[in-house]
Amino acid sequence: MSGPDARAPAVHPADLALVDETVECVRTARTDDVVRQFMPGLTASERAGLTRYCALAHAAVLVSAPSVETLRTTLRARGLDAGKAVPSVIVRRRLAERYGRTIDSLHVDIVRVPVPVPVPVPARTPEATSSPAMPPGERAVEIFVLETPPGAGLDAVAVRERAARHESHMALEVTAPDDVVMAGLRTTLVERGAMVPDGGGYNAHEDATALYFRAESGAYGAEPGASESAESTDAASTKPVARPVARLELHARGDHRQALAAHLAAETVQDPARRLLELCTGAWTTQALAAAVRLGLPDALPSGAEDAADTLQLAARTGTDRDGLGRLLRYLASIDVVAAEGDRFRLGRLGSVLRSDAPHSMAPLAELYGGPFYASFGELDHAVRTGEEAFKRLFGKGHFAHFAERPELDALFRRTMAAGAAMFGPVASAVAESGARTVVDVGGCDGELLGQVLTAGPALRGVLLERAHVLAAARARLTDVGVADRCTLVAGDFTESVPPGGDIYLLSRILHDWDDDACLRILRRCAEAMPPTAELLLVERLLPQDGRPSLATAWDLHMLCNVGGRERTAAHYGRLLAGAGLDLSSVVPLPLDAFLLRARKAAAPAGGRQGGAEGWRGGGP
């Protein structure tokens, strides 16, 4: 072998043995045998129906190699012709999530080794025979190649995957896929075959949709009586211990997003009792996250390319009990906040946003939701019975007044506002492109949004209205981002007055804190201050009217319990705006399930007055 791969480490013998084993399996297996092995409960007629619409196409394995060319060269020397490499989308994402790595830190390709079939395969339709991955009379071994060049820090990942074989599966090609056929096959596999949805995706590089299923027990190639305790691979062994392949793929050429969406939605459906247990223990998750932040665990855990740390190291870094910390880490790993590599741990993809130095860190939210807001949710039944906020019942006053008396809580609450700053980018761009000269941020907290707006629009000037004790933090924030010289800070109460003369007025996550009467007062003060050509921009979450999932639904309950306000529909905000003499002109989605609502002063009706109380008809959302 010549070229750069000549000096590269050889492909691990266990990976080569796995490829050989899989080639032989694909060469000799029959579609009916695979269906019977994965779904023993199907009747003969149901199996015949499945094999009428799909046929065994390939088996897939994941191996590691210094480069994809190293593997292809090694396979050629063994008489196996690996085709052109195609980037993996699904497996790359799964590995990143499993080990807490960024997607960009992993390189995973797919190569296919054709396997001639010595026995006739079921007849295929013209659509199926046009697939480049499956010529008639031929199957393949699909190899996911995790590139592990020296120094990449991926050796532990390779060892774990070699032992667990998470990505090994058998694949059935859908011979003539359409929406009806895909829906029927999915229903048969789940309802009759007792298969469990296990992810999937669309790979644009090969224009194909993959739906994965998991068998709870039994799989093709499993030995009778095989046990989990016997299923392991020593890193130094040359032949993997036989273990069942428990995953099945439905592979269909083309983009079948309707089937994929239904499949991914079904993945969340579980046994009702198990699911209810998970919901009942949701408070444990809240406290686990809060405890992790309070203990400094996200900052202590390795991240990126750093080697994973064991519990002894982490206990020393955080000043905690090794056994107690180990229990917390295992739980955090079960919810994908931490990634476990045996008895060693690193920060997972979700956990990365809990680091104190993460952009828009979520750590303050975890602390706050695990602190006073957690305590007040214990009084939720009182809020539901009476409509009164539980926080006030528990602490004797509303949370704004309570926090104002406790500087540490007030500072924590202000830091939580930055955690949602991902929704501000499009707002800043919209203001910068509007041609406005002066922007008034009403209730702008510590200036996070206004700072982004003034940064995006260097010619803009800003006015920030806030309570007097918050202005010092706002001044510091605006100074940090270099825009304080273009901003005027005003102490005041937005229910009483708003600075006049702005071109754009911002109300970001303000109105959901208040009841309808208070919202109407705030909007009227804004309308009074706005010149005729000015525009009002609201940033709020909107309650969905079609039942779709939304963060607004949970935050609506939070508002009831802790603030006394509420989330609202777009129509509800439209009526509030109309009551203040303003017209809602557009609603634009933002990140984190937020929306940007734009409004202007309503034209005065002929012979009548504009806005006012007569325009407000109150009521529900």
- Give per-residue pLDDT as tens, 424-435: 888 998 999 899
pLDDT tens sequence across 246-263: 789 999 999 998 888 888
Q: Is 212 within 8 Å of 248 (Cβ atoms)? A: yes
Q: Provide the edge-to-edge strand list for the sheet that holds 504-508.
A: 487-491, 461-466, 438-442, 504-508, 535-541, 594-601, 582-589
Write out the catalytic residue numbers: 512
Rounded Cα–Cα distance for residues 547 and 365 (Å): 26
Residue 232: pLDDT band (50, 70, 90) is very low
The class of domain 420-615 in CATH terms is: alpha beta
pLDDT given for residue 611 in this prediction: 40
What topology does CATH give the domain 275-358?
A: Arc Repressor Mutant, subunit A (1.10.10)
Q: Where in the chain is the domain with CATH 3.40.50.150?
A: 420-615
pLDDT given for residue 6 in this prediction: 45
Rounded Cα–Cα distance for residues 174 and 577 (Å): 53
What CATH code is assigned to 4-269? Answer: 3.10.180.10
Q: Where in the chain is the domain with CATH 1.10.10.10?
A: 275-358
Q: Give alpha helix (H) positions in 387-456.
A: 390-395, 399-404, 407-419, 425-432, 448-456
Mean pLDDT, the chain, rounded, equals 84
Rg (CA), the chain: 30
Q: Where in the chain is the domain with CATH 3.10.180.10?
A: 4-269
- 3-state SS class at 491: strand
Instruction: Give the type of residue at 565.
Output: G
DSSP annotation of 296 reads: T
% of the chain at pLDDT higher than 90: 53
pLDDT tens sequence across 65-112: 999 999 999 999 999 998 899 999 888 888 887 877 778 889 999 999
Nearest partner of 301 among 266, 268, 338, judged by Cα? 338
pLDDT given for residue 319 in this prediction: 96
% of the chain at pLDDT higher than 70: 86
Q: Which two tokens stand for residue 150?
A: 């020296």
